[in-house]
Structure 1
Amino acid sequence: MKKLISEFKEFAVKGNVIDMAVGVIIGSAFGKIVSSLVNDIIMPVVTLMTGATDFSRLSIVLKEPVDGSQGISLMYGSFLQNVIDFLIIALVIFLMLKCIVKISSLRQKEEKEDMREEKGPTTEELLIEIRDLLKEK
């Protein structure tokens, strides 16, 4: 039992698990922001364009309710709202990753230039310089 507890402590305290937990929490908050963007900003515009009073309630009635029984409807408005939500999340993640890759490549380029300046000229560059000096004599 002690071995199991110590293994669990080692697992739970590792950096990867903590990073993953932070990512899940931030992802959850990000999901709320995107859902608000879709529900409060984008969907009212779409609703205005479609002329529907509530976009998420758009449906096709397959069977009307009869004698107190429930009717059957395809709730395509709710589905479309979820598709739009997904597309916005995918677009935002794509743009964020694109920015991260760009920043990372710029940072790597700067690091290579810094390393080149610290090292001084390469052996090849020195040999070319020596050759040019010998040609002048």
Structure 2
Amino acid sequence: MLNEFKDFIAKGNVMDMAVGIIIGAAFTAIVSSLVADLINPIIAIFTGGIDFSGWYYVIGGDASAYASITEAEEAGASVFAVGRFIMAVVNFFIIAFVVFMLVKMVNRIKAAAEKPDEVAPEVDSGPSQLDVLLEIRDSLKKT
């Protein structure tokens, strides 16, 4: 079992995965900042400044007794935070779209790098090896 573990760790895929996780964690901070600091304010312009994260219901109580969701949570009330969920879904779609655009751009760059500059024309080098062997076989049959 120890040898299997050593073989698993020694493979290049594990290192690629580790690098991907580390870069993914750093990328998450960048994308979260993009969403919170740049995209959400633009959305707020179109929605009239509505902040969904403040929408909540107090389960088994009166929501009007609390000034904010934070106050309700600090008081120990059971809070059904609808707005936070809506904002999480909106953020997910924004992040998914940004990642999609990045992957699309990277794939386009890879395709351009892999595309050969000029395709060499095929040169007719004469009969193939199989044709020559068949011709020899046929001539031997005749004799």
With structure 1 as the length reference, what TM-score do the two structures score?
0.63
Distance in 2, Cα, partners of 1:97 & 1:44? 25
Q: Which has the higher helix share?
A: 1
Structure 1: segments with no counterpart, 5+ residues: 127-137
Query: Is the CA contact (8 Å cut-off) linking 1:59 and 1:77 kept in structure 2?
Result: yes
Using the alignment, how far apart are the partners of 1:43 and 1:121 within structure 2? 56
2 CA distance for matches of 1:108 and 1:102? 10
| CA apart distance, 1:80 | 2.0
Which one of the candidate residues 113, 119, 122 is aligned to 1:107? 113
Q: Which of 82, 91, 94 does residue 88 from structure 1 map onto?
A: 94
* Higher Rg: 2
1:123 matched to which residue of 2? Answer: 124
- Equivalent pair of 2:35/2:95 in contact (CA under 8 Å): no
Q: How far, CA to CA, are the matches of 1:84 and 1:76 in structure 2?
A: 13
SS of the residue corresponding to residue 18 of structure 2 reads helix
Task: Look up the match of 2:19.
Answer: 22
* Conserved 8 A contact 1:59-1:74: yes
For 1:1-137, list aligned pairs within 5 A.
4-47=1-44, 49-52=47-50, 55-61=52-58, 63-64=61-62, 71-110=77-116, 113=118, 116=120, 121-123=122-124
Cα deviation, residue 8, structure 1: 1.0
Give how far 1:104 is off. 2.4
Identity over aligned residues, as a percent? 39
Q: Which has the higher contact order (CA 8 A, sep 6+)?
A: 2
Give CA-to-partner distance per residue, 1:69-94, whole Å, 9 cap, x none.
Answer: 86554422211221122112211221
Return the alpha-carbon distance in structure 2 between the equivalents of residues 86 and 21 of structure 1. Answer: 24
- One-letter amino acid matched to 1:107: A
- TM-score, length-normalised on structure 2? 0.61
Q: Which letter maps to 1:123?
A: D
Q: CA deviation at 1:121?
A: 5.0
